[in-house]
Chains A and B, each alone.
Chain A
Amino acid sequence: MSERMERNLFRYIWTHSRRQQVWILLVVALSMPTYFLAFDIPKRIVNGPIQGEGFESPTATQMVLPIEIGNPFGEGSITIFEGFELDRMGALVALSMAFLGYVIVNGLFKLYINTYKGRLGERMLRRLRYQLVDRVLRFPMAQYRRVRSSEIATMIKDEVDPLGGFIGEAFATPAFLVGQAGAALLFIMLQSWMLGLVTLVILVIQTGLIPKLRARLRSLALQRQLTARDLSGRVSEIVDGASDIRLNDITNFQRSDIADRLARIFFIRFDFYQWKFMVKFINNFLAQFTPFVFYLGGGILAIRGNLDIGQLVAVIAAYKDLPGPIKELIDWDYQRLDVQVKYLQVINAFDVSPLAPPKAQETWTEPVPSLRGPIVFRQVAAADESGKTLVSGLDLTIELHESVVAIGAAGEGADVLGDLLARLVLPSAGTITIGSEPLASLPEWQTGRRLGYVGPEPFFAHGTARDALLGGLRHAPFRPAPEGGGMSPLILREALASGNPTLDRRADWIDYEAAGVEGATELAAKITEVLRLARLEEDFYAFGLRTKLADATDGKSEEMFLKARRMFGERLAGSDHAADVEPFVETAYNTHLTVFQNLLFGAVASPEFLPAEIPSTSQFWQVIAEAGLDEKLYRLGREAASIVVDLFGEVSDNMQILERLDLIDTSRLDEYGAALRRTEGVSPADVPVADRQRFMRVALSYIEPRHRLDLLDDDLRNAAVAFRPFCRERMPPHLAKEFSFHDPDQINPFASLQDNILFGRIAEGRAGAIDRVSGLLREILEELDLSYAVLERGLTYEIGSGGRRLSLSQRQQLGLARVLLRRPEFLIVNRGLNALDNRTVEKIIQGILAIANSKASPFGVLWITSTESNASYFDRALKFERGSLVSDEILAPEMAAQ
């Protein structure tokens, strides 16, 4: 098997497109006759019908468009068709029509050839790109730690791009050009062998010298490519590490580093241009040197009578056709070398060994055989990249369904045990076997489904939490895509023509069997189960409650949510804790909403609309003024600001108590102080707009129970309630679509699910209110069978690139849930939950071990951690120190005996 990439670009092209290349050569050859005939016709039109050659008398006729085959320079051609006998006017029409015909035929040939070449190039490009990504997927694990992802991406995306254009030209173009140049040279030779010889000599010098001069250009082009790739790697490092760069104040070092690289690139590129134009100059000179010889040498010969003047003119005319093809040929050659270098550069980066054999990653839709334990380590040693020993002399047998905890601080060797078992690190000595099979020989379609590995930094592609969770189940296309969604014959044919796989991306890739369910509906319960095991259920449930109802809700579930609202209201009223939620009542001020929310009494479509974000030119201010609220709000805001500034005026910037006070932006305390002094004793009507709005914004954020400045009076409360219908009336039409008022009998699509069901806010300051309300909410959703619907909404949460919109602990929990969902036979958790608090980890361990030790679906666990705190739950504890196993203790003898 050719596991190495083909290093010769031409051989690569030839191997994969031999038939197409031959075909294109044939078509090019076929297009030649009409191509040359089209040149010939204009001369005949001008000489014949137009200038009247051969039509000297008005009745004269001529044979037009004969078909002859034979020697263009000599006698004895064979006439196949005599031609049409036509008069002058008829000949003009016939010849012009023939010209038009040739033009059309030529154009069609060109169209076909170009399209064919283009498709050929694109197919080859697709093949090459696919092969490169395929190799990336098969890299040895250590390679991933060595390469920079953005460089790999640049190579696959940009650097191979020019190859596509070249591949179509690879064989046909040089053949065509050599033919053209050869014909012209032959013609010169026939006229005068001496001048022909001179031409040949200069040609040889030209074709020999120019590529030599261009060698330097090539090496510069190579440097240019490498430095550019390096730059892209550095830029992506800056982006990825931006927070660290800024937190350590090393931005300026980055600036200078980038400037330094740009300088290097600039000089390489400048050097490149200098050479390029120098070579161009020499090339042009040589091309024009030949006519110089013709004029001088040929002229002398002609004057002396050694050469016929007619012949000289013919030679010079014939030479006109030579420089064009030669120049193009030299350019093609340059392009060839350039592309070859680029190709080699790319290939080198991907020629890594040992690659995982394709068999290890086969698409496997059949049931996967179970692991046949036990897992046996025999004299295993492993070293890191620098050669430092990580573990040595490891002898260990773990039963397949045993639960083992491996304890050791970082670097003591416990974590390497997990990495070895997951094959992230390869042993430098010794063997690891599962049952009778060496671990190394197990295919990935077996280990990837039967072994589960959870590391400390799980990776998630950009997408929703649900995608991330199901990501571990996408093993193979188990069921074809729903009707109309499969691969069309065209797509299938192209995939085959480019050596791409014919696996259907749109098929159902979810391995329901691995999750232990029959289909999509049962999967729901399973997802809930694993989220609960990873103690993530509440998080996603809360995400779900926070989603706006407008996001993908059909009428039916809206009705259900409305029902949930009624049930919630009734049950809460019937309980001892009716005051836990302060309901939205249109005619009453809600103390747990901000003043702003009380004024609007509704929700906006945009994610969140804070008073600080209202533009200063907004119509809102005008409406407020018309309602006579502006002065009241101004007074409240100014009063609040003055209390806060008074209390905190001397406090340093990062006072944490201040952070809890969301009324005023802590970094702008001084501005408020200045504004307070400016407006001291000024009547509200005379206060400048900016200051008035500043204080009104403070007032709009005010919540009495939270801020407790005792500023709300009944007057303002009543005014706010009275404002609601007025606001509704005055709402400009373009905003009306973006806004929805609270209505007890209507779902509010722009409010969160929780606001919709509670139809009120949880009262702040009632002990246990949050727990009681969530409990009741939960109970009702459960009864209405809506729990999963809420959880599912939570799972539509976009987790961001790499899951960055989740906290590290949530990412770790999600990583665990993802692996648990596919029910591994042996679960390795390698410090996979080290960002979680110990209480939570303990509960997770209990939950997992309860299932692992069950009769129904037992599995083995290797839990690698640095603390002993939860060790007692396991059957067996291993301790590692300085790379060796120092203690191996059975903790549950009765379990081991079974």
Chain B
Amino acid sequence: MSLEEDATLLSKVDLFANVAPRRLKLLALASSRVLFTPGENLCVEGDEGNEAFILITGEAEVKITTPSGVATVARLKRNDIVGEMAILRDMPRTATVTAASDVTTLRIGKQDFLNLMREFPEVAVAVMRSLADRLARTTNELANAQAARRAGA
């Protein structure tokens, strides 16, 4: 459970893909390892979120409340990230994530992440690039979906 390992882990996250490894080491240093036992919640739907978790070992279930009850919508594994948007904007958690086994995570605090961006603007630029990529992808998908619907109609 070293800094090097954590930095490598961070580099695999979409959002940080463009950030220089040296800076990721700083972020790793500011982050901490958090262990969840089966049944414990990483986050709860509706709560205010100010941290993100990257799964290192174990699995977790994503559940949302629907009119017909609680439904499991996804399973998270190694290298998956929970609540990445929460460290960029203020919003309540959109789902509950529960550990399905012993889960080791790397916890990234919102304040630490913001501090890092403030100190090194190039980190902010790298994150922006990731977001722009994602936006482009989403826009593309939306256009495709609309085209498909029009074609279907």
Residues of A within 8 A of B (CB): 576-577, 643, 647-648, 651-652, 655-657, 660-661, 705-706, 708-710, 764-768
Contacts and interface: CB of A to CB of B under 8 A. Distances in A.
Interface in B5-28: 6, 22, 25-26, 28
Nearest to A576: B37
Nearest to A768: B40
A767 B3 CA distance: 20
23 contacts: A643-B3, A647-B22, A647-B26, A648-B26, A651-B119, A652-B119, A656-B111, A656-B112, A657-B112, A657-B115, A660-B30, A708-B1, A708-B6, A708-B33, A709-B2, A709-B3, A710-B1, A710-B3, A710-B4, A765-B32, A765-B33, A767-B37, A768-B36
A661 B29 CA distance: 8
B29 A765 contact: no
B30 A657 contact: yes
A110 B36 CA distance: 88
A657 B1 contact: no
B2 A710 contact: yes
**Chain B interface secondary structure, helix, strand, loop or mixed?**
helix
Interface residues of B, number: 24
B35 interface: yes
A655 B29 contact: no
B116 interface: yes
A767 B40 contact: yes
Nearest to A769: B35
A712 B22 CA distance: 23
Contacts of A655: 115, 119
Contacts of A765: 32-35
A696 B22 CA distance: 26
Contacts of A767: 34-37, 40, 42
A657 B116 contact: yes
Contacts of A652: 119
A705 B115 contact: no
Nearest to B5: A710
Contact of B29 (A576, A657, A705, A710): A657
Nearest to A654: B119
Contact of A708 (B22, B26, B29, B119): B29
A710 B2 CA distance: 5
B64 to A, nearest CB: 21
A577 B39 CA distance: 12
A710 B1 CA distance: 7
Choose among B22, B30, B36, B112 the residue with the greatest number of A CB atoms under 10 Å from its CB.
B30
Contact of A705 (B33, B40, B42): B33
B10 to A, nearest CB: 13
A661 B115 CA distance: 14
A645 to B, nearest CB: 13
A585 B72 CA distance: 43
A766 B34 CA distance: 5
Contacts of A708: 1-3, 6, 28-29, 32-33
Given A643-B3, A766-B35, 9 more contacts: A647-B29, A655-B119, A656-B111, A657-B112, A657-B116, A708-B1, A708-B3, A708-B32, A767-B40
A657 B26 contact: yes
B135 to A, nearest CB: 28
A660 B115 CA distance: 12
A643 B4 CA distance: 11
Nearest to A766: B35
Of all A-B residue pairs in the complex, the 9 with the closest CB atoms, nearest first, are: A710-B2, A657-B30, A656-B115, A765-B33, A767-B36, A766-B35, A767-B34, A765-B34, A708-B3
A651 B115 CA distance: 12
Contacts of B111: 656
B102 to A, nearest CB: 10
A656 B33 CA distance: 19
Contact of A764 (B2, B32, B40, B112): B32
A652 B116 CA distance: 12
